[in-house]
A and B are shown apart, each in its own frame.
Chain A
């Protein structure tokens, strides 16, 4: 048996993003979806499920974590706290 590995994402309720919950093996997309329902939503934990073959995911590598995320490291001006506003200015 060499069923491919699928990653499972569940939307907990309307208004939330799908969140990764785990993985499973399945023969095809359809059976992956059914198994994901049985495995990850036995107690109404979800209103929507995505399954995707693990092999189809492209991920950043932890080895190059520092250079990969470096461009955002020195841009403190992207954060609201970078700007000093006097305390007596309301609603800002």
Chain B
């Protein structure tokens, strides 16, 4: 029989009912739950713009995208549940603030260009993070990530296309795009987490093959991918230190404000309270729907039971009369 260590060493997947160290299980639950919460909270910044999008086409696209975020959250809650946690409990932990979500969603969407920039930069960074997670050692998580990544590419492309459209518009529209890029660039770089020297769990997560690359490796990859896209779009990334380093074969770039990241993670970002409060309200406002569905299911089950009892009684009755005839 393969032990946990043998499965990991052979680069195979751990499946739900396999034996695994408690710390591995706890790490997976925390990571998958945080990821799921991020998708759920991630509906809000863009959801705000559904009714404000400038055309039916843009509304339909945005609606589909926000639906996808909900779907991604649910794929991930399903994966977390295979580890023995209860989904309702995870929803509670998000609302209570006991579990976190990605810091990026604590920034406000101040203009419609933000919808495009979120698709391009935020979803672009998410893709960078998530593609290697498709090979994560925990099977249900890796499989959920494959579904998510397939859908995420639509998100990034619709954002970039939206921005290209605005950049072909008026000078004022181009300014709106640049202003939005200026606000989202650094928070997007922070999405990869603290620098490697400050990320105590990275080594263990890499050894367990939960993570395949360090935060700094992924951040570098994202910068290298994004710079030519910014050039093609015609926007400037707000970093005076950003330049190509031929020797390294990578772009050099400035240091994000790590104190800001810490503050936002600890709850002191521009929208933390608002996001969690909105989620709580949505959860509570939906209670009557859940109760109605439960009541309807209970009623249907009672009706089915009664019908079954009646059928059994008829069958018994028929059996008796047959016997009487024979007698």
Contacts and interface: CB of A to CB of B under 8 A. Distances in A.
Interface in A11-59: 21-28, 31, 38-39, 42-43, 59
Contacts of A81: none
Contact of B17 (A23, A25, A26, A59): A59
Given A24-B74, A62-B15, A5 B81 contact: yes
A62 B81 contact: no
Main DSSP-derived SS at the A contact region? mixed
A62 B75 contact: no
B81 A27 contact: no
A66 B67 contact: no
Interface in B257-297: 290, 293-294, 296-297
Contacts of A42: 64, 67-68, 71, 151
Given A5-B81, A65-B1, A25 B87 contact: yes
Contacts of A2: 88
A82 interface: no
B296 A39 contact: no
A61 interface: yes
B235 to A, nearest CB: 31
A1 interface: yes
Determine the interface band of chain A, counting residues with CB < 8 A from chain B.
Answer: 20 to 34
A26 B78 CA distance: 13
B310 interface: no
A1 B292 CA distance: 11
Nearest to B67: A42
Interface string B128-156: 00000000000000011001000100000
Contact of A24 (B18, B78, B297): B78
Given A42-B68, A42-B71, A31 B293 contact: yes
Interface residues of B, number: 28
Contact of B300 (A24, A28, A61): A28
Nearest to A23: B78
A61 B19 CA distance: 11
Contact of B290 (A1, A24, A39, A43): A1
Interface string B65-79: 001100100110011
A3 B294 contact: yes
Nearest to B91: A1
Contacts of B17: 59, 61-62
A1 B64 CA distance: 28
Closest 8 CB pairs of A and B: A28-B297, A27-B293, A27-B297, A23-B78, A22-B78, A62-B17, A1-B290, A66-B1
Interface of B: 1, 15, 17-19, 64, 67-68, 71, 74-75, 78-79, 81-82, 87-88, 143-144, 147, 151, 290, 293-294, 296-297, 300-301
Given A28-B293, A42-B64, 6 more contacts: A1-B88, A1-B294, A2-B88, A31-B297, A39-B75, A62-B17
